Amino acid sequence: MLGWALLADVMPIYPLYALLFTDSGLSGAEVSALFAIWSGVAILTEVPSGALADRFSRRNCLVLAAVFQGAGYAAWMLMPSFAGFALGFVLWGVGGSLVSGAQEALLYDGLADAGAQDRYAQVNGWVTAVQLGAQVPGAVLATSLFATGGYAPAGWASVGVCLAAAFVASRLPEPRRGSTPDDENDEDDAGYFAILRAGLVEAAHRPGVRGVLVAAAALSAFDAVEEYFPLILAGWGLPTAIIPIADLPIVLAGMAGAALAGAASRLGPWALGAVLGVAMLLFGGAGLADHPAGLVAVAVFYGIYRAVLVVVDARLQERLESRSRATVTSVAGVGAEAATFGIYAAWALGEVLVVAVFGLLLAIAVPLLLRAPKAGPDPVRSG
């Protein structure tokens, strides 16, 4: 899984694609329209693709995801126009939705099959750290490939990396699902729409799931803050040429936080909320200081945020049925996509300070959302 995670994010085109669009003649409004298409496709396909992973194969969903993503980059290289870029984002959006839910389900059930599901937070933290760390070699490759021939070498190299990721994904083991052979037989007999309905019912009615699902979605939305880190650094007066280097400590802090999620998973709901609250105070303090020294506070904020995010995802996985794990996780993904627009709005209202206030409110809510379910009959099972 670590090898696949690395390949899935070492894309030389990542740091360059916005520049590719503008250098191809697109206006700012057209670039924003492309991002809207990307988000819209993700929202529409997120839950259906999660049910697809639950009904058929999580591993094959990862394979298809890489193929779709690579096809999207190929469309950009072959048709450098608004239509070609839009087609590429549609393909990439479908690919991204195939990963969401399937990756977590494959990892958790693989650990459960080995009797090691209690290590999910630790292992998923390592996977997240590798994915974040992939930005470093990706940036190096982007710089060197662009220097040799512009956007085309970076784009086609990314297509090749996607195909390599598809091959690695095809070699991942597909664990059995369910706690008994009968559970597996029931899953095999269930049709796609039955699996989809079961996942939606579990998300809405299973005790303890709805609250942690909301927490996971709301926290995941704060990933959007990453897009503003370069703007924050530029606003503090750092020259554009050194912003990629200045951003590196934030990335490394995120990697460290994710890697330490196993230790953070020992914290209770109130402790997690308190730690997240401290992170948001640091982030807000950096905004108030409006000085390059605030980089340290932003880095610590990001490291803590990444650790808490992995732990909350682990809490969600612990409360899900194996047969609908990818579907319910995809429901959280849809919630995250929708909540991301709230982060964008918060930034538009007051940048760092308003985003930090929203984060503090979430930190207060987290202990309540993560409360253990009350003892009693499970309406999903009994139904």
Do both 131 and 232 map to the same domain?
Answer: no
380 found inside a domain: no
Point out the least confidently predicted range of 2-16, 83-97, 273-287, 336-350: 2-16
364 found inside a domain: yes
Do both 346 and 222 map to the same domain?
Answer: yes
Of all helices (H) and strands (E), which one includes residue 308? Answer: helix 294-318
Task: Give yes or no for a contact between 47 and 334, defined as CB atoms under 8 angstroms apart.
Answer: yes
Helices 58-78 and 28-55 pack at an angle, to 10 degrees, of 160
Do both 9 and 75 map to the same domain?
Answer: yes
| Best CA proximity match to 55, nearest among 324, 352, 359 | 324
Do both 143 and 256 map to the same domain?
Answer: no
184 found inside a domain: no
Whichever domain contains 224, its CATH number is 1.20.1250.20
Task: Give yes or no for a contact between 148 and 20, defined as CB atoms under 8 angstroms apart.
Answer: no
Task: Give yes or no for a contact between 370 and 269, defined as CB atoms under 8 angstroms apart.
Answer: yes
Q: Of 125, 160, 175, which closes a domain?
A: 175
Alpha-carbon torsion angle 242, 243, 249, 252, nearest 10: -110
Distance CA 298, CA 45 (A): 33
Do both 218 and 78 map to the same domain?
Answer: no
120 found inside a domain: yes
Q: Which two tokens stand for residue 313?
A: 């995802």
User: How many domains does the chain fold into?
Assistant: 2
| Best CA proximity match to 10, nearest among 156, 137, 153 | 137
Q: Which burial class, exposed, middle or buried, applies to 371 when counting CB atoms under 10 A from its CB (0-12, 13-18, 19+)?
A: exposed
For residue 27, the enclosing domain spans: 1-175
Do both 342 and 274 map to the same domain?
Answer: yes
Do both 161 and 220 map to the same domain?
Answer: no
Q: Which two tokens stand for residue 282?
A: 């640091």
**Each residue of 304-319: pLDDT tens digit?**
999 999 999 888 888 8
C-alpha R_g of the chain: 21
Distance CA 192, CA 205 (A): 20
Distance CA 196, CA 47 (A): 8
**Each residue of 65-120: pLDDT tens digit?**
999 999 999 999 999 999 999 999 999 999 988 887 788 778 878 888 888 878 87
199 found inside a domain: no
Do both 248 and 315 map to the same domain?
Answer: yes
pLDDT at 285: 93
322 found inside a domain: yes
CB atoms inside a 10 Å sphere around CB 369: 21
Do both 292 and 160 map to the same domain?
Answer: no
Do both 217 and 312 map to the same domain?
Answer: yes
Alpha-carbon torsion angle 197, 182, 321, 331, nearest 10: -30
112 found inside a domain: yes
378 found inside a domain: no
**Each residue of 110-139: pLDDT tens digit?**
888 888 878 878 887 788 788 778 877 887
pLDDT at 191: 61
Task: Give yes or no for a contact between 319 and 223, defined as CB atoms under 8 angstroms apart.
Answer: no
On the question of pLDDT at 287 being above 60, the answer is: yes
Do both 134 and 27 map to the same domain?
Answer: yes
Do both 223 and 343 map to the same domain?
Answer: yes
